[in-house]
Amino acid sequence: MSGLGGLNPSPGGMVLGLVQAPVPIVAEPPDVAAAVDRIAGTVIGTCRALPVPDLLVFPEYSLHGLDPATWLDDRLLCDVEGPEVAKLRGACAEARIWGCFSIMERNPGRAPFNTGIIVDDTGELRLHYRKLHPWVPAEPWHPGDLGIPVCDGPAGSRLGLIICHDGMLPEVAREAAYRGANVILRTAGYTYPIQQAWRFTNQANAFCNLAYTASVCLAGPDGAGIHSQGEAMVCDVDGTVLERGDGTPGRIVTAEVVPSRADEVRRGWGVENNIYQLGHRGYSAVEGGATDCPYTYMRDLAAGSYRLPWEDEVRHTDGTGAGLGTPADVRAAARPAGGDG
């Protein structure tokens, strides 16, 4: 099924290249420029490799690094219409390859967004996503406000993008699938303590949604002795791991997926057609299945009244324990020097 990691593509197959990018050390604007150049160089160089991917996926933080002391520095932030993204778009057009990239996006007057974009092989921006669920309390990003968009991709794919901690909440991958994604990308900067959870959530997100999942982390040391895990993974629609990387920085893990197979499974499966059956409970006994919402948490969340039975006992409810302070402190730190946001 994998065709030797994409060396022997199947009819209708899409070859993915998951880049276990090394952790960049970023402290000043020239460091951001150097990281952009490295990523663009990888995109252009990959068009001379075998197999040639249809889509290259770079991890979260591959442009901005993992040093929290720099995350709110306005000089290091990017804009989707800015020069850094323009260079990445140009690299995709030159190489005739789709690309998925991570930036920390300027958000005037508020904390920045942790953003992912997908660019097509002509350099056009096809998807713009802002991380819905920052990894609190450690991350200071503003929660995403664009929902979970999907876009058409190579070989009949419908691409969804989720970022790191998003993948730990099953509702996020489910939303991408509900909106039509048959290939769900997940980018991350996770370190080794999260490795086991990374593995089983990638597999569960595939099986529960009858989608391919393609996921990749940063790899290698961050300059302070902490290593990111790399471990690119591609999972089949039944959760089977098709390809798995390691911790090698810079390694590009390739794999083939066939988007039409996910489409056919969603149409043809009876037993375990989970995403259909969620909204058609017990259709063997009830015509069309029950279509009510029996889940209290869904109803409460939609009503703005989500509240856990142990809500008053939760100890971490802002970034103070992680050294970020209150939300007001984060907003103040995110303002440009000398400006009022």
- The catalytically annotated residue of 131, 175, 231, 256 is 131
- The catalytically annotated residue of 78, 100, 151, 164 is 164
Task: Reply yes or no: is the peptide bond before residue 137 cis, omega within 30 of 0.
Answer: yes
Question: What is the rounded CA–CA span in Å between residue 341 and residue 330?
Answer: 13
164 included as an active-site residue? yes
Token output for 55: 């889509």
Token output for 310: 């142990």
60 included as an active-site residue? yes
Q: Report CA torsion sign: 221, 250, 143, 298.
A: negative
Q: Are 231 and 246 in contact (CB under 8 A)?
A: yes
CA-based R_g, the chain, Å: 20
Question: What is the rounded CA–CA span in Å between residue 223 and residue 335?
Answer: 27
- The catalytically annotated residue of 60, 84, 175, 256 is 60
175 included as an active-site residue? no
Cα–Cα distance list, 178 to 47, 240, 276 (Å): 33, 21, 9
CA angle 118, 119, 121 (to 5 degrees): 140
Question: Catalytic residues, which ones?
Answer: 60, 131, 164
